Amino acid sequence: MAKLDKCTPKLMDLASSRGGAKGEIIGRIKDMLLENNAVEVWREVAIHCLVVYLGEKEEDLFKEFANTQEIEADLEKQVMKIAIIGDLSTMELNHKTGTIIVEGIRILIGMDISRCCALLTGIIYALNLSYPKELKYTC
């Protein structure tokens, strides 16, 4: 995570240079930093901005759930996702956790979103899985 922290200012500058509809989405994501300026939030915002900057959809990597019961109901449909338990539109750290889902199975539960992204990449590599086509640039 220290490497991500080191690169975050440059990633944020790069993402901010984007114009058009993607620039507006990135601006909305960056506005979440006004609510909470913690390091974990910076990491999460940088990852979300990078996904949008690379032209991919956030919903292809992240799926938002209000509680764990919603995850159970939708678990079988998910091939490879990071499930966010809580509200994606807020950055309250005590309010959100991430769960990695692969092939309908919860692999890792209860981590922050930036760690989920890093560990998902490691899981894909370690299990020799194919990267999702929708996320060819992000994963």
Q: Note the pLDDT tens digit of each residue in 45-71.
A: 999 999 999 988 888 899 988 888 888
pLDDT digits (tens, 9 = 90+) for 6-15: 989 898 899 8
Given the DSSP bridges, would you call strands 97-102 and 80-85 parallel, antiparallel or unpaired? antiparallel
0.85 surpassed by pTM: no
88, 64 Cβ separation under 8 angstroms: yes
Confirm if 15 and 26 have CB atoms less than 8 A apart: yes
In sequence order, the 6+-apart residues with CB closer than 8 A to the CB of 51 are 57, 58, 61, 138
Per-residue pLDDT tens digits of the chain, which is 139 residues long: 888 889 898 988 998 898 899 999 999 999 888 888 888 889 999 999 999 999 888 888 999 888 888 888 888 888 899 999 876 555 554 568 899 999 999 999 989 999 999 999 899 999 888 877 777 766 6
- Residue 89: predicted pLDDT: 55
- The reported pLDDT for the residue numbered 4 is 87
Question: First vs last Cα of the chain: how many Å apart?
Answer: 16
The CB density around residue 133, as the number of other CB atoms within 10 Å, is: 7
Q: Rounded CA gap, 49 and 45, in Å?
A: 6
